[in-house]
Amino acid sequence: MAQTIIFLILAVIILGCGILAVTTKRIMHAATYLMFVLFGTAGLYFLMGYTFLASVQVMVYAGGVVVLYIFALMLTGRQDKKDNHSVSLAKKFAALVATLCGAGLFLFIIVSHRFAENMLTAPSEQTTSVKLIGQQLLSSDKFGYLLPFEVVSILLLACIIGSLIIARKR
């Protein structure tokens, strides 16, 4: 019962803020609503007992990505003035195709899988411990994640080198 009430509150927050983030005209408001959506998702993870995943969600998305968005928006100046520039037909068509593809994929996933209701009714912190995550991340066994981990670190290294080259003084 308590689970269902909290789930409904979180679902309303996520859906409402998601719609607002898309429909609002001001870009800073959109970033703020997006942050509420990400918080709501973190709340869902907490509800399911995945505390580590929820903390990562708060750390990476709310504390990292949204802060970067806001920082970048602050640096690029404000474009609050309403400019009703017309959208070309090709763009409208592309947007329609993208929307239909996204909706199709979403519906396919929903129809082909069943909802795991028992995930919500039986939360447990023992589902995935941090120790297990750490060992899986650095193990080179059959189901280990060492290779993806190293590939991601190469990506980050490329990002660091790229930013250094852009920012260096001549």
Segment interacting with another protein, rule: CB under 8 A, options 10-18, 27-35, 104-112, 141-149: 27-35
* Residue 92 found at the interface with another protein (CB under 8 A): no
CA 157 to chain centre: 22
Cβ–Cβ under 8 Å, residues 35 and 1: no
Task: Count the residues in the chain.
Answer: 170
Give the chain's end-to-end CA distance (angstroms, integer): 64
Residue 41 near residue 13, CB atoms below 8 Å: no
Nearer to another protein, 64 or 102 (CB): 64
Span from 7-15, 114-122, 124-132, 140-148 in contact with another protein (CB under 8 A): 124-132
**Nearest distance from residue 73's CB to another protein, in Å?**
8
Q: Tokens for 61?
A: 């998305």
C-beta closer to another protein: residue 67 or 138: 67
| Least distance between another protein and beta carbon 64 (Å) | 8
* Helical pair 66-76 and 27-48, crossing angle rounded to 10 deg: 170
Among 22, 63, 132, 163, binds another protein (CB under 8 A): 63
Q: Which of 70, 120, 136, 145 binds another protein (CB under 8 A)?
A: 70
Q: Does 153 bind another protein (CB under 8 A)?
A: no
Whole-number minimum distance, CB 116 to another protein, in Å? Answer: 21
Cα distance between residue 149 and residue 71, in whole Å: 28
Residue-wise DSSP of 94-110: HHHHHHHHHHHHHHHHH
Question: Angle 27-48/2-23 helices, nearest 10 degrees?
Answer: 160
Q: Which residues bind another protein (CB under 8 A)?
A: 1-2, 5, 26, 28-29, 32, 35, 51-52, 54-56, 58-59, 62-64, 66-67, 70-71, 73-74, 78, 80, 125, 129-130
